[in-house]
Amino acid sequence: MKFKPLILSGLMILIFSRTEAQNTTLDWKMYNIGNVRQVITNTGGMNAKYDASFAGYTRLINSEYPPNSFEEHLTEGGLWIGAVADGDTVVSVTEGETADREFYPTGEPWDSIWVVPKDKTVDIPYWFQYKGVSDLDYVCRYNDYGPASQRLTDHTPMYLDVIQTTYAWSSAPIHEIIVFRYYIISNKYDLQNVYLTSWINGNVGYGLSSAHGYDDETHFLRNERLQYCFDLPGGEDGTAKGPVATKIFPPPQATPNIRTTFQWYNGNLEGLPTDDRVRYAQMSRGRIMQDQANTGNGTKSMVSIGPYQIAKGDTLQLTVGLLVGDGKDGLMDNLTYLNWLIEQDFGVPSPPPSPPLRSDVSNHQVTLNWQPQEGDVNPEDYTDPYRADSSAKPFEGYRIYKSTQSIAGPWTLLASFDLRDNEYESNTGLQYRYTDLGLLNNLEYYYTITAFSKPDKQINFPSLESSINANAVRVTPSSPSPASVGKVKVVPNPYRGDIAYHQYDPPWEKVPGGRLWMEQDRRIQFINLPSQCMITIYTLAGDLVQTLEHNSNERGYEDWNLTSSVGQAIASGIYLFTVEDRNKKVQTGKFVIIK
């Protein structure tokens, strides 16, 4: 298989730029359509949280399973490639504890991450007419010889291009699996004795604990070439729900006498290779270590296979499955489905597309509408060529979910509507409108609608549901803004620092996912505001603290995080405020802060 570049003009893509590495188009995406949240980068690594050069990446939890659990599973992971190139033994690394990242994309704007839903066809400059394979594919390309790579003093490039495709699914039973497929292209050398390695730094446990990676072990299933890292019971980080694993699938090229290496390392870095010579020696050793016994220092591990040969201009394909599960039993169930996915060449049934979702908020309520309009994708019309039952239209119904916590859940099922007069579900009949009453004004709520299919009884495949996060909306019910000031209030009043407002349901103070509450998350609210007004806050002595401008026809409130105009947190005390509307009418009031 060979890839030839295709020149496209007028192509515009949002990119994230790296400041310290010149001539690169760094990008990342987060998988959240299934039951594991995993970051994907276009440097080949499975982590971005420690690297500020991935602009906009703020989450602290990586490979989170289940969603919203704050359970982390991978600190890092990725691909190592070792070979004899031009008589020299070299290794290029995407991520490794004692190695710099050695792969980067080019500076071309299209060398970001391409997002391709199932069966959609796009023209990627290095892959003409690429067609989506899974429910959501990410496609990217990186190399080990560009300016960002060659700036590394200890790096010897092999002049490799790697095209990486990743596949994920939104619905059980395959929603806890992500597949990485690598196309490794040699541009300069005939590479001899090539070894391919899946490296992971497993840290399984409550990710906001500083000790979440200390009590982990890594074991190996020889016949499956699967390494799995799991959390031992108890400890400071609790007991995690499930292990994390990678399985390496040998390239399809027929190669006799494949050697497999499995090696784990203590978390204190003992035995980790620090140069290419030692790294390649470990990759090519052909030794299976005994399963790790708890050292109290954590774990890192790698699985390596080889040797292979790559002639100049040729491509070697490698597939690695990343999977989690509910305990070891759940992991083994998912391993069965991973093997089946590979055997089927990913030709498996799919859920219907997500319904169009529109919302309308008013006083203490929200109304949802998902009736397809002209130009919308209609889930009821979708077909699926991979079903064995030959169902012309496998759509069955809709489900409505609500969350009070975040736009990524956790979700509570509110209602389900499905087709009448068949053997599936409740036969309620389809609905396209739902009103949720009794909501608190000026607080955020989150809603999503999914579409689900009939099960495929021919192959005993369950009903599939579209991604629960794909069309989620954030809404804030509110009363209409008054024409003038006069009824403005501050809530809560008094504000008390000994109350955990962020633990309310819905939370009064919002904490971004993946971090602990901070001083900057404090919140009071000015309510019953006219659409345009100016709020001025003073100390009791008359010193100016902060000025807030309110300009909104949709919401009659304004939040304040209790910081002054110079960014300082205010102290306990009595504060005064004035609110002046556009007609120069002024209302005064006071509120109390107790920290």
Tens digit of pLDDT for each residue in 165-205?
999 999 999 999 999 999 999 999 999 999 999 999 999 98
In this prediction, residues 371-399 reach a mean pLDDT of 93
pLDDT at 343 over 80: yes
- In DSSP notation, 259-327 reads EEEEEEEETT-TT---SHHHHHHHHTS--BPPPPPP-SS-EEEEEEEEEEEE-TT-EEEEEEEEEE-SH
Q: What pLDDT band is residue 22 in, cutting at 50, 70 and 90?
A: low
What pLDDT sits at residue 468? 93
Q: Read off the pLDDT of each residue in 384-392 and give the average, rounded to a whole number.
A: 89
Mean pLDDT of the chain: 91
Structural contact between residues 109 and 12, judged by C-beta atoms closer than 8 angstroms: yes
Neighbour count for residue 78 (Cβ, 10 Å): 25
Confidence at residue 513, expressed as pLDDT on a 0 to 100 scale: 65
Say whether pLDDT at 20 is over 50.
no
Kindly report the three-state secondary structure assignment for every residue of 53-102.
CCCCCCCCCCCECCCCCCEEEEEEEEEEEEEEECCEEEEEECCECCECCC
Q: Quick one: 374 exposed, middle or buried, by C-beta within 10 A (0-12, 13-18, 19+)?
A: exposed
Mean pLDDT of the 17-30 span? 72
Q: Dump pLDDT digits (tens) for 145-157.
A: 999 999 998 899 9
Query: To which H or E segment does residue 138 belong?
Result: strand 136-143
- For position 113, what pLDDT does the model report? 97
pLDDT at 6 over 70: no
Q: What is the pLDDT of residue 30?
A: 93
Is residue 8 over pLDDT 70? Answer: no
211 or 228, greater pLDDT: 228
Q: Which residues, at least 6 apart from 30, have a Cβ–Cβ distance to it below 8 Å?
A: 37, 38, 39, 40, 59
Q: What is the mean pLDDT of residues 575-589?
A: 97
Nearest to 450 by CA among 368, 332, 566: 368
Q: Tell me how far apart the alpha carbons of residues 233 and 241 are, in angstroms, rounded to a whole number.
A: 10
What's the average model confidence in pLDDT over 370-394?
A: 92
pLDDT of residue 267: 76
Average pLDDT estimate for 546-557 = 93
Q: What is the mean pLDDT of residues 310-333?
A: 97
Give alpha helix (H) positions in 146-232.
Answer: 147-150
Count other C-beta atoms under 10 Å from residue 50's C-beta.
11
Q: Nearest CA to 313 among 458, 441, 160, 174?
A: 160
Query: How far lies 168's CA from each of 135, 175, 216, 387, in Å?
Result: 6, 7, 26, 18
In the prediction, which pLDDT does 51 show?
75
pLDDT at residue 18 tops 70: no
Domain annotation for the chain: domains and CATH numbers: 28-343 (2.70.98), 358-475 (2.60.40.10), 489-594 (2.60.40.3080)
pLDDT classification of 351: cutoffs 50, 70, 90:
very high
One-letter amino acid identity for 325?
G
